[in-house]
């Protein structure tokens, strides 16, 4: 079946992805209940705010839209652009939303043991996260692996979910909530955000400007009036969107860094001011004591 545009309206059946999304929601709800019980015992406020819960389930709904609707069928059979829509939505919107939805109280069980703490610090290291994300992304989009994924719907969803999972770690240095797993301050976060997306941007430019079609496996509907090369160029242009998001993310980080530097300078000025006042007060007391010692009968020296 197809729409007037020639695009498929077949809803895919993907029990693996459906199970993954259900498990994600179940684990999240159980985590909230556990965190609330701990908070009640300690007399604390609600550990997971409504905004975080909305962000999490909003991210899950976006994932379901990408994985369980005709968008997925079109992405596997007709348009490379539709595939890139899946990738950009999963990695640029779903991942940070879901990660933001997980507060530190929710992730606390993963920091209670030395092994988990050590493993968490390794897996959330920015250099490793960036390398892992870019390697997984580039490998899956090599012509050989991508063709194999298009031939097998299950493998195709393994590709999408694996890219989504590594993108969670890729977003951690910016959105992660566990403070002991935060490795760098604002300047390093800005540098990380700038360099992290460069390999993907290079691939996007290859899609846009290459002379030939890299993935000649799609059947672009003639009703759309576009060629496979145009479809590929449009997908490459869309893949540049995460770079724009990176710039948007860098902007508040830059101003936070400026605010932090201003605060540190103000605190330093206040410390210097207090130190100068203390020295002045000590000097005043010392002079006063010398004047008192010089008075007759006060210094303790016998008068002639």
All structural domains of the chain with their residue ranges: 15-261
Predicted model pTM: 0.77
Percentage of the chain lying above the pLDDT 70 cut:
72
Burial of 268 (0-12, 13-18, 19+ CB in 10 A): exposed
| pLDDT at 191 (0 to 100) | 67
| pLDDT at 249 (0 to 100) | 56
| pLDDT at 129 (0 to 100) | 83
**Residue showing tokens 């050989």:** 144
- What's the token pair of residue 269? 């000025």
End-to-end CA distance of the chain: 122
Nearest Cα to 124, choosing from 191, 56, 57, 192? 192
**Residue showing tokens 């590929």:** 232
Task: Please name every residue paired with 2 in a beta bridge, in sequence order, or none if there are none.
Answer: 8
Nearest Cα to 161, choosing from 73, 26, 63? 63
Whether 83 and 158 have beta carbons less than 8 Å apart is answered as no
| pLDDT at 33 (0 to 100) | 87
Percentage of the chain lying above the pLDDT 90 cut:
40
| pLDDT at 260 (0 to 100) | 52
| pLDDT at 262 (0 to 100) | 59
| pLDDT at 201 (0 to 100) | 86
- Count helices and strands in the chain by DSSP H and E runs: 14, 0
| pLDDT at 83 (0 to 100) | 96
Nearest Cα to 72, choosing from 17, 19, 4, 3? 17
As a whole number of angstroms, the distance between CA 240 and CA 175 comes to: 21
What is residue 93's DSSP assignment? I
| pLDDT at 258 (0 to 100) | 46
* CA distances (Å), origin 123, targets 12, 28, 96, 101, 119: 33, 20, 17, 19, 6
Low-confidence ranges of the chain (pLDDT < 50): 253-255, 257-258, 298-301, 303-304
pLDDT in tens, 274-301: 776 677 666 666 666 665 666 565 444 4
What is residue 8's DSSP assignment? B
**Residue showing tokens 């604390």:** 44
What is residue 91's DSSP assignment? I
Which stretches of 8-112 are DSSP H helices? 15-41, 50-67, 70-77, 80-89, 95-100, 104-107
As a whole number of angstroms, the distance between CA 114 and CA 54 comes to: 32
């Amino acid at each position: 079946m197809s729409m007037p545009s020639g695009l498929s309206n077949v809803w895919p059946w993907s029990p693996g992805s459906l199970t993954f999304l259900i498990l994600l929601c179940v684990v999240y709800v159980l985590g909230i209940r556990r965190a609330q019980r701990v908070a009640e015992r300690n007399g604390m406020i609600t550990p997971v705010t409504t905004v975080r819960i909305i962000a999490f389930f909003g991210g899950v709904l976006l994932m379901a839209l990408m994985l369980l609707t005709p968008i997925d069928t079109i992405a596997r059979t007709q348009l490379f652009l539709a595939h890139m829509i899946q990738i950009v939505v999963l990695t640029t919107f779903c991942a940070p939303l879901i990660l933001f939805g997980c507060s530190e109280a929710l992730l606390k069980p993963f920091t209670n043991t030395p092994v988990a703490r050590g493993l968490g610090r390794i897996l959330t290291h920015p250099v490793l996260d960036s390398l892992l994300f870019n390697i997984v992304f580039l490998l899956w989009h090599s012509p050989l692996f991508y063709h194999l994924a298009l031939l097998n719907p299950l493998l195709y969803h393994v590709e999408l979910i694996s890219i989504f999972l590594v993108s969670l770690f890729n977003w951690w240095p910016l959105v992660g909530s566990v403070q002991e797993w935060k490795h760098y301050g604002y300047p390093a976060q800005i540098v990380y955000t700038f360099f992290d997306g460069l390999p993907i941007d290079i691939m996007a430019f290859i899609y846009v400007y290459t002379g030939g079609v890299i993935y000649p496996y799609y059947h672009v509907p003639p009703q759309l009036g576009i060629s496979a090369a145009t479809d590929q160029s449009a997908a490459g242009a869309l893949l540049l969107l995460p770079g724009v998001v990176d710039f948007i993310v860098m902007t508040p980080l830059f101003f936070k860094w400026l605010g932090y530097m201003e605060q540190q300078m103000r605190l330093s000025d206040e410390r210097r001011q207090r130190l100068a006042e203390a020295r002045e007060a000590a000097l005043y007391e010392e002079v006063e004591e010398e004047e008192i010692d010089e008075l007759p009968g006060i210094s303790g020296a016998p008068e002639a």
